Amino acid sequence: MVVDDTIVAVSSPPGPAMRGIIRLSGPRASALAQHVFKPDLVGPLEAGLMPRRVVGKVTVEAVSLPAAALVFPAPRSYTRQDIVEIHLLGAPTLLGMVTEALLACGARRAEPGEFTARAFLAGAMDLSQVHGIAGMIAAVSDAQLRAAARLLHGSLSETAPKAREEIADLLSLVEGALDFADEPIEFITPVALRDRLVRVKNLLADTSAAGLRTERWGRLPRAVLLGRPNAGKSSLFNSLSGMNRAICAPVPGTTRDVISAPIRAESVECLLLDIAGLDAPRDRIDARAQAQAREAVESADVVLLVIDAAEIATGFDSVGAANSPIAEFLADVQAFLREDQARFIVANKADLVSDAQMASVANLLCASATLPVIETSTITGEGCDHIRSLIARALFNRPMDKDDGAIALMAEHREALDESVNAVDRAIALTVQSSASLADADLVAAELHAAAAALGALVGREDTEELLGRIFSRFCVGK
């Protein structure tokens, strides 16, 4: 990668905006910028050693507009080279004209991620921090942004070198034992080696777990409608989504496949799922449909337990709370739900029962499951706004706040962590086979070398040009 020329790109998001940014980096950044930017006060842009803001005008093809230039002299800049950012009106046509003018003056169009690549090659950041920047660019929620920021600010940059240094220290002891195998010198006992390796493994496993918690944030959160056949789930799905996606019929078992549609729950967007009613399967197809339904429930963030209020009200004279099939159903389904899943009871078909009956139904449901009960009717629209409000509240309060500690691990991070943990695991297994002295020290050393190499890849100490090209290609131009 060439790093000694001057590159240029639009650094602001695409589309019209109040402000656009054109970024130059390289030894001629200031000189080239002055071909299109003229300061209001006389003086060269490169004057001074500290970052500064200069007010002036951008002039290109007889168009002259107010603008400002932010000057970051090397090495006090993002790339550790001279950087000039021209801030002007964010009109795509104008930004294109200014960029073309700078290219005509001798700048080169930046490749995707090339600004960050120059920062990495200059030693301004390690590879895990590069991934953190990519994660921040791709973030679509506050939680994802915070997780990527932890990566950028060194969560992995601290953990990986720390574990790698501990492994290197243990490796030196193990290889010392190999070098002096004929001497009565004990560098480390198998028990001490195993204890230290277990601590390293736990550190890496905790980091991997913190990354796994962010994986489901890359998709829309999910709310699933769970209930017995003919509870009115499909009608409720159509009402909440505003689409006639699900076929509604009084025949139990109409829904077989998992149907989904995005919905807006106040300020939160989520994916609403309609699934087959859970009951004893009647045939092989029904069994497959219910297996898919259970998979959908397992992946959901919010579970809406849809109950036919009219069915309960009809059986009040002969069925009590203790032996009600509804109570049994609620107990059964709650047994396989995750603890972190928000859940509510939806007493559907409220238009078919009286107010007094609905009060009795609500009391029975509360006693059976101790969950909030929402009265709904797809005919009148009653309760739909309340459902959206509860979904929004549940998703907003998911355990992914600033104290969660999750970090945005990329695929390369997870692969390297898994390789390192597996290698350490194999080394631990070898120490278990030893008694007073370390047996198979050469095999233990090989596993520790593998673990250290995998961790080195996390911070760019074992990189290749192909790996770096793959990483920086994910960036947008101008970053």
182-194: pLDDT as tens digits:
554 556 788 888 8
473, part of any domain: no
Q: How many domains does the chain have?
A: 3
- Pair (356, 277) in one structural domain: yes
219, part of any domain: no
221, part of any domain: no
Domain holding 155, by residue range, is: 133-213+407-459
SS (H, E, C) the chain: CCCCCCEEEECCCCCCEEEEEEEEECCCHHHHHCCCEEECCCCCCCCCCCCEEEEEEEEECCEEEEEEEEEECCCCCCCCCCEEEEEEEECHHHHHHHHHHHHHCCCEECCCCHHHHHHHHCCCCCHHHHHHHHHHHHCCCHHHHHHHHHHHCCHHHHHHHHHHHHHHHHHHHHHHHHHCCCCCCCCCCHHHHHHHHHHHHHHHHHHHHHHHCCHHHHCCCEEEEEECCCCCHHHHHHHHHCCCCCCCCCCCCCCCCCEEEEEEECCEEEEEEECCCCCCCCCHHHHHHHHHHHHHHHCCCEEEEEEEHHHHHHCCCCCCCCCCHHHHHHHHHHHCCCCCCEEEEEEECHHHCCHHHHHHHHHHHHHHHCCCEEECCCCCCCCHHHHHHHHHHHHHCCCCCCCCCCCCCCHHHHHHHHHHHHHHHHHHHHHHCCCCCCCCHHHHHHHHHHHHHHHHHHCCCCCCHHHHHHHHCCCCCCC
- In this predicted structure, the answer to whether residue 403 has a pLDDT above a threshold of 50 is no
Weakest mean pLDDT among 21-25, 60-64, 204-208, 450-454: 204-208
Q: What is the pLDDT of residue 463?
A: 45
- Pair (260, 278) in one structural domain: yes
- Pair (233, 348) in one structural domain: yes
- Pair (234, 197) in one structural domain: no
- Pair (267, 383) in one structural domain: yes
- Pair (245, 313) in one structural domain: yes
- Pair (431, 341) in one structural domain: no
- Pair (94, 111) in one structural domain: yes
Confidence grade of residue 57 (pLDDT, cut at 50, 70, 90): very high
Confidence grade of residue 335 (pLDDT, cut at 50, 70, 90): confident
- Pair (359, 429) in one structural domain: no
CATH of the domain at 421: 1.20.120.430
- Pair (189, 258) in one structural domain: no
- In this predicted structure, the answer to whether residue 331 has a pLDDT above a threshold of 50 is yes
477, part of any domain: no
- Pair (303, 370) in one structural domain: yes
Higher pLDDT, 96 or 240: 96
- Pair (326, 252) in one structural domain: yes
375, part of any domain: yes
68, part of any domain: yes
478, part of any domain: no
